[in-house]
Amino acid sequence: MTHTYVTMAVSHETYAEVMDKLAAAGYEHAIHNTRSSDGVVLDMHGIALKEEVFVPKKIPNIEELEAILNSEEDTPITINPDGSITA
């Protein structure tokens, strides 16, 4: 039985991460060399992607976070994996 798929270009980082996870899980059969201009593709048939849940390794400093949130500025913030805050 033959099936077809549509190719979708993703960043190199995403491609490499997905390929590594497929190989680590024993899904080498999903890594295809198409012998065409597409090169090596990852056949995701029956595989769904989901976003990883971000959990900081350390709880951020609440006082620092409150000061940023209560400021007059509309400043985007990032809570980093080490618990630090970037504003």
Give the chain's mean pLDDT.
80
Sign of the Cα pseudo-torsion (64, 69, 73, 76, in order): positive
**What pTM was estimated for this model as a whole?**
0.52
Q: Residues 31, 58: one domain?
A: no
pLDDT tens sequence across 6-33 = 788 888 999 999 999 999 999 888 888 8
Domain count across the chain: 2
Are 62 and 34 found together in one domain? no
Q: How confident is the model at residue 87 (pLDDT cuts 50, 70, 90)?
A: confident
- Which structure tokens are listed for 82? 């080490």
Q: Are residues 40 and 67 in the same domain?
A: no
Backbone dihedral region for residue 40 (phi beyond 0: left; psi -120 to 50: alpha; all else: beta): beta
Containing structural domain, residue 12: 1-50
Same structural domain, 5 and 45: yes
Same-domain status, 22 and 8:
yes
